[in-house]
Amino acid sequence: MNIVGSINVQTKMEDVNYAAIAGKTVTLSYSVDGAVTTDTFVAPVVSGHPTVVDLNLSNCVLNWVKLEEGDRATPFKRRHYDTENLACKRYQRVLSGCTRMSFMYGANGNIYFHIPLDVTMRITPTLSVRSEDYVEVRSTTFVDQSGFNIRTDWGLEMITIIASKLSHGMSDAILRYRNIILDANM
């Protein structure tokens, strides 16, 4: 990360990972402009999402940061891009595409569109759609169907988009969406 000016870099731990190191000796190591710094300490026992990295940096390159259990730093090994990308998808992703629902089930005019996620989200994400993007229901001939209320139901491995409209008369439908943002950050 190329830093121009001054910034504060903070990293918070997930509850599930932090519980494994709370009360144990850990080593924080990081590289700034190629120079490695290490700090060994006992991870405090706290609830919530504790901050484990808190660095004030100015006009430099932050090459990497690593936190590991134990009293010494091991060599940093850069992960392959695909491995890093999969890890990032646990926190946030943007979905675009079409999902066809060939049959209806449920009551009250609901159409359920299931979108599987290739990586399990770390927590149930929030969903947002920017004003220039969309989630829309279309017929199988791609004619826009107006008047649907859109809501979501979550699993960590799947998002269900529920389109509701009384008396829509459809037995087959397509959900089109662009840039649905799933955010599972803290």
One-letter amino acid identity for 141? T
Distance CA 173, CA 85 (A): 32
* Residue 140 pLDDT: 84
* Residue 70 pLDDT: 93
* Residue 186 pLDDT: 62
pTM of the predicted model as reported, rounded to 2 decimal places: 0.61
Residues in the chain: 186
pLDDT averages per 10-residue partition of the chain, 186 residues: 88 71 90 93 82 88 90 90 87 82 65 86 84 85 89 82 85 85 81
Which residues pair with residue 173 across a beta bridge?
101
| Full DSSP string of 30-56 | EEETTEEEEEEEEPP--SS--EEEEEE
* Residue 114 pLDDT: 84
**What CATH number matches the domain at 92-183, 2.170.220, 1.25.10, 2.60.40, 2.30.38?**
2.60.40
